[in-house]
Amino acid sequence: MSAPHVTWGHYQAMGPLAALLWLAAGALVYRRPRAATALLAAGAVLTLAFIAGLWLSLERPPFRTMGETRLWYSFFLPLCGLMAWRSFGHPWLLSFGSVVAAVFAAVNVARPEIHSRTLMPALQSPYFIPHVTLYILSYALLASCAVAAVLTLARLRRGLPEEGLLRLTDRLCRAGTGLLMIGLILGALWAEEAWGAFWSWDPKETWAFVTCAAFLAYIHLRRAGRRGAGTLLVPPVAFVFLMITWIGVNYLPTAAQSVHTY
């Protein structure tokens, strides 16, 4: 039996270091953008190295447990912040992504929740990696979308110009929802191969539907020309649904009916 090289024990050092690099990047982005980019990239490389090592050690993709999905989220979030900042010119996006990623890294240091190499047969599928990766990537984009919507709403309330932030919210929503739908569709195709049905209204599926539909409602409301407070509240509310899908569903009365709880 081959011996693992990287364990969650290594994250006790790598996690805090990555978090510090991201926090520094988030603080420096307003005055020293190049240094911020370098620090953020260093944190991401460190995390990616840990993920790769863990993948090899576990002899399976590290997507199975809550701790493992948090790890990917903390990896993607600063990168999404970086890309969104470079594309749309809002440095706070990088700060937001960095701070939330640091929080997730801290949670993983305290509660990694991963000890096993096992991967149940249903998870041994080519759909597994793209399904989870795209979901987590979309979660990162939609978190930024929710914050952008709240900031837009705040400016709207104060009578300040909000056009730029509104556009940003729309773009983040379209990108995040597009990826979320790809993840959902891959999940449906996978479920059909594993269990003979594309969709079975399992509680996790139901909440994934709620999340996706809520963001789609925002997209359609914006296409209808709506830009008031009611419309701008949709992304943050949808993000609450997203968090229930990801984490909260395990604690609901319906969780006992789910094959997706972990």
Q: Does 49 bind another protein (CB under 8 A)?
A: no
Q: Does 12 bind another protein (CB under 8 A)?
A: no
Question: Residues 58-61: contacts with CB within 8 Å, 24+ apart?
Answer: 58/4, 58/117, 59/2, 59/117, 60/117, 60/119, 61/119, 61/128, 61/129, 61/132
Q: Which of 178, 236, 250, 262 binds another protein (CB under 8 A)?
A: 178
- 203-222 residues in contact with another protein (CB under 8 A) are 203, 206-207, 209-210, 213-214, 216-217, 219-222
Spatial distance between the Cα atoms of 167 and 89, rounded to a whole number of angstroms: 12
Binding-residue pattern over the window 81 to 110 for another protein, x denoting contact by CB under 8 A: ------xx----------------------
**Are 98 and 9 in contact, with CB atoms under 8 Å apart?**
no
Q: Does 48 bind another protein (CB under 8 A)?
A: no
CA geometry: angle 216, 67, 62, nearest 5 deg: 90
List for the chain the helix, strand, coil content (%; round to 5): 75, 0, 25
Q: Where do contacts with another protein occur on this chain (CB under 8 A)?
A: 1-5, 7, 9, 87-88, 115-122, 124-125, 163, 166-167, 170-172, 174-175, 177-179, 181-182, 185-186, 188-190, 192-199, 201, 203, 206-207, 209-210, 213-214, 216-217, 219-226, 244, 249, 252-254, 256-257
